[in-house]
Structure 1
Amino acid sequence: MPSTSDTAAHAGPLRRAMETIKSLRAELDAVRGARRIAVVGTALRAPGGIGDRETYWRALAEGRDLTGELPARRRAVFDSGWDGLLSRGGYLDDVFGFDAKFFGISPREARSLDPQHRLLLQVVWEAFEDAAIPPASVAGSTGVFVGITGQDYRQWAEPEPNASWLIGNGHCFAAGRIAYTLGFEGPTMAIDTACSSSLTAVHTACRALAAGDCDVAVAGGVSLVLAPRSTAEIQRTEALSPDGRCRPFDARANGFVRGEGCGAVVLKRLADAERDGDRVLAVIEGTGVNQDGPSAGFTAPNGPAQTRLITSVLASTGLTPDDIGYLEAHGTGTPLGDPIELEAARAALSGGNGRTWYVGSVKANVGHTESAAGVLGLLKALLCLEKRQIPRQAQFERLNPRIDLGDSGMTVPTRTIPWDTASAGRCAAVSSFGMSGTNAHVVLSPGTDAPPPGAAPSAPGGLLVSAHTEPALRALALRYAEALSGPDAESDYAAFAHTANHGRTRLRHATWIGADSAAGARAALTALGGGTDDPRLRTLDEAEAVPAHPAARAVHPLPHYPWEQVTYAIRALGDD
Structure 2
Amino acid sequence: MAIVGVGIRAPGDVVDTASYWSALLEGRDLTGEMPADRRAPFGAEWDDLITRGGYLERAFDFDARFFDMSPREARTVDPQHRLLLEVVWEAFEDAAIQPGAVASSTGVFVGITGQDHWSWLTGEPNSYWTIGNGHSFAAGRVAYTLGLQGPSFALDTACSSSLVAVHTACRALTAGDCDIAVAGGVNLILAPRTTRAVARTGALSPDGTSRPFDAAANGFVRGEACAMLVLKRLDDAVRDRDRIHAVIDGTAINQDGRSAAFTAPSVEAQTRLIRSLLATIGLTGADIGYHEAHGTGTPLGDPVEMAAVTAALRGGPGEGALHVGSVKGNVGHTESAAGVLGLIKSVLCLEHRLIPPQAHFTTLNPRIDLTDTGVVIPTTPTSWPAGAGGHASVCSYGMSGTNAYAVLSPAPRITPVAAPPPGFAVSARTSAAVAALAGRYRTHLAGLDEADYPAFAYSATHGRTRHRRTVWVDAASAAAAREAVDAVAAGVEHPAARFLDEAEPLPWQASRAARRVASLPSYPWEHVTYTADIRGSDDRDRATGRTRRDAAERTHRVAAAPDAARAT
- TM-score for the superposition, normalised by structure 1: 0.91
Matched, 1:260 2:224: yes
| Letter matched to residue 184 of structure 1 | L
Aligned-pair RMSD on alpha carbons? 1.1
Native 8 Å contact 1:377 1:430 kept in 2:
yes
Which residue among 498, 503, 510 is the counterpart of 2:463? 503
In the alignment, what sits opposite 2:72?
Answer: 108
In the alignment, what sits opposite 1:400?
Answer: 365
Q: Could you tell me how far apart the structure 2 residues matched to 1:389 and 1:574 are? A: 43
Pairing 1:454-493 to 2, within 5 Å after superposition: 455-456=417-418, 458-486=419-447, 488=449, 490-493=450-453
Native 8 Å contact 1:44 1:53 kept in 2:
yes
Cα drift, residue 157 of structure 1: 0.9
Native 8 Å contact 1:281 1:448 kept in 2:
no
Matched, 1:378 2:343: yes
Pairing 1:509-548 to 2, within 5 Å after superposition: 509-548=469-508
Cα drift, residue 322 of structure 1: 0.8
Displaced runs of 4 or more, over 4 A: none
Is there any run of 5+ residues in structure 1 with no aligned partner, and where? 1-36
Secondary structure at the residue paired with 1:542?
coil
Which residue among 543, 546, 554 is the counterpart of 2:516? 554
Secondary structure at the residue paired with 2:102?
helix
Cα drift, residue 76 of structure 1: 2.5
Cα drift, residue 151 of structure 1: 0.7
Native 8 Å contact 2:254 2:269 kept in 1:
yes
Deviations 1:82-112 (A, max 9, x none): 1121110000011110001101111011011
Native 8 Å contact 1:40 1:265 kept in 2:
yes
Cα drift, residue 353 of structure 1: 4.2
| Letter matched to residue 430 of structure 2 | T
Pairing 1:107-126 to 2, within 5 Å after superposition: 107-126=71-90
Pairing 1:171-250 to 2, within 5 Å after superposition: 171-250=135-214
Q: Could you tell me how far apart the structure 2 residues matched to 1:414 and 1:294 are? A: 36
Q: Could you tell me how far apart the structure 2 residues matched to 1:334 and 1:78 are? A: 28
Deviations 1:413-464 (A, max 9, x none): 11111003x4110000100000000000000001122225xx32x2222210
Secondary structure at the residue paired with 1:424?
coil
Secondary structure at the residue paired with 2:66?
helix
Native 8 Å contact 2:528 2:543 kept in 1:
no
In the alignment, what sits opposite 1:12?
Answer: none
Deviations 1:452-493 (A, max 9, x none): 5xx32x2222210000111111100000111000151x2222
In the alignment, what sits opposite 1:325?
Answer: 289
In the alignment, what sits opposite 1:277?
Answer: 241
Secondary structure at the residue paired with 1:378?
helix
Native 8 Å contact 1:498 1:549 kept in 2:
no
Deviations 1:197-218 (A, max 9, x none): 0000000000000111110000
In the alignment, what sits opposite 2:414?
Answer: 450
In the alignment, what sits opposite 1:359?
Answer: 324
Matched, 1:415 2:380: yes
In the alignment, what sits opposite 1:573?
Answer: 542
Native 8 Å contact 1:499 1:555 kept in 2:
yes
Cα drift, residue 310 of structure 1: 0.5
Pairing 1:283-362 to 2, within 5 Å after superposition: 283-354=247-318, 355-362=320-327
In the alignment, what sits opposite 1:153?
Answer: 117
Deviations 1:304-328 (A, max 9, x none): 0000000111111111111000110
Deviations 1:254-313 (A, max 9, x none): 000000001010000000000000011100001000000001100110110000000111
Q: Could you tell me how far apart the structure 2 residues matched to 1:329 and 1:249 are? A: 10
Cα drift, residue 368 of structure 1: 0.1
Secondary structure at the residue paired with 2:226?
strand
Q: Could you tell me how far apart the structure 1 residues matched to 2:189 and 2:66 are? A: 25
Q: Could you tell me how far apart the structure 1 residues matched to 2:543 and 2:123 are? A: 15
Which residue among 525, 528, 549 is the counterpart of 1:563? 525
Secondary structure at the residue paired with 1:405?
coil
In the alignment, what sits opposite 1:3?
Answer: none
Q: Could you tell me how far apart the structure 2 residues matched to 1:41 and 1:151 are? A: 28
Q: Could you tell me how far apart the structure 2 residues matched to 1:78 and 1:236 are? A: 19
Native 8 Å contact 2:317 2:372 kept in 1:
no
Q: Could you tell me how far apart the structure 2 residues matched to 1:386 and 1:439 are? A: 26
Cα drift, residue 158 of structure 1: 3.3
Q: Could you tell me how far apart the structure 2 residues matched to 1:186 and 1:465 are? A: 30
| Letter matched to residue 271 of structure 2 | T
| Letter matched to residue 495 of structure 2 | P
| Letter matched to residue 347 of structure 2 | L
Secondary structure at the residue paired with 1:443?
strand
In the alignment, what sits opposite 1:142?
Answer: 106
Deviates more, 1:530-539 or 1:165-174: 530-539
Q: Could you tell me how far apart the structure 2 residues matched to 1:310 and 1:487 are? A: 42
Q: Could you tell me how far apart the structure 2 residues matched to 1:574 and 1:529 are? A: 26
Deviates more, 1:235-244 or 1:250-259: 235-244
Deviations 1:24-52 (A, max 9, x none): xxxxxxxxxxxxx0000101001000000
Structure having the higher helix fraction is: 1
| Letter matched to residue 33 of structure 2 | E
Cα drift, residue 78 of structure 1: 4.2
Pairing 1:428-443 to 2, within 5 Å after superposition: 428-443=392-407
Q: Could you tell me how far apart the structure 2 residues matched to 1:77 and 1:461 are? A: 53
Q: Could you tell me how far apart the structure 2 residues matched to 1:559 and 1:402 are? A: 45
Query: How many residue pairs get matched?
Result: 535
Q: Could you tell me how far apart the structure 2 residues matched to 1:229 and 1:557 are? A: 39
Native 8 Å contact 1:431 1:441 kept in 2:
yes
Deviates more, 1:245-254 or 1:540-549: 540-549
Cα drift, residue 530 of structure 1: 0.9
Deviations 1:120-173 (A, max 9, x none): 000000000000000111110000000000110011113111221110000000
Native 8 Å contact 2:135 2:154 kept in 1:
yes
| Letter matched to residue 542 of structure 2 | L
Q: Could you tell me how far apart the structure 2 residues matched to 1:494 and 1:549 are? A: 14
Q: Could you tell me how far apart the structure 2 residues matched to 1:169 and 1:510 are? A: 35
Is there any run of 5+ residues in structure 2 with no aligned partner, and where? 534-540, 545-553, 555-568
- TM-score for the superposition, normalised by structure 2: 0.93
| Letter matched to residue 73 of structure 1 | D
Q: Could you tell me how far apart the structure 2 residues matched to 1:40 and 1:326 are? A: 21
Native 8 Å contact 1:77 1:573 kept in 2:
no
Q: Could you tell me how far apart the structure 2 residues matched to 1:549 and 1:184 are? A: 25
| Letter matched to residue 565 of structure 1 | H
Cα drift, residue 550 of structure 1: 4.1
Q: Could you tell me how far apart the structure 2 residues matched to 1:92 and 1:443 are? A: 29
Matched, 1:52 2:16: yes
